Amino acid sequence: MSMKTAGSLATPRMLLALLLSLLLGGCGNDGFVFIAVNTGFVVSDSACDGEFNMRNSGGLLLVVVIGSGTPILLPNGIVGTCANIMPGSQVSVRGPTENGRVTANQVQLQ
C-alpha cells in the first residue's frame, strides 16, 4: 500500500470517529439528560401551575415540571391531583433530568 493510499484512508476514518464522538457525546448542549428517580421534599406551593420546586436528598433544588397527563400517586396508591402536592410533602419523581429541571413522568407522594 502506497503512502498516498494510506493517507487517503486515514481521512475518512478520522471523519467517522469525529462523527461518532459527536453523536455519542452530544454537541452544543450545556448539560446531560438523565432518566432518574429523584427523592426529596416539596419547597413551593405552585404545583397546579405546572411545576413545583423540590429539594432532593443531596440538597439540590430542582424544578419539577408536571403536565395534565402526569400521574400523581398518593401514598395509598390512589391517583391524586396537583392539589395534593404541598410544601413539606416528601415525593419521589421519575423522569428525565436536564440542568436542574425534571420533566415528571410520575410523581409519588410518600
The rounded distance, in Å, linking the Cα atoms of 70 and 109 is 13
Using one digit for the tens of pLDDT, what is the confidence trace for 41-63? 999 988 999 999 999 988 999 99
Kindly state whether residues 43 and 92 are assigned to the same domain: yes
Residues above pLDDT 70, as percent of the chain: 68
Kindly state whether residues 39 and 62 are assigned to the same domain: yes
Kindly state whether residues 71 and 88 are assigned to the same domain: yes
Kindly state whether residues 61 and 76 are assigned to the same domain: yes
Q: Which domain holds residue 104?
A: 33-109
Kindly state whether residues 20 and 66 are assigned to the same domain: no
Kindly state whether residues 23 and 71 are assigned to the same domain: no
Cβ atoms of residues 95 and 106 within 8 Å? yes
Residue 34 has pLDDT above 60, yes or no: no
**CA nearest neighbour of 50 among 35, 60, 63, 38:** 63
CATH number of the domain that residue 75 is part of: 2.40.50.320
Using one digit for the tens of pLDDT, what is the confidence trace for 17-27? 544 444 444 44
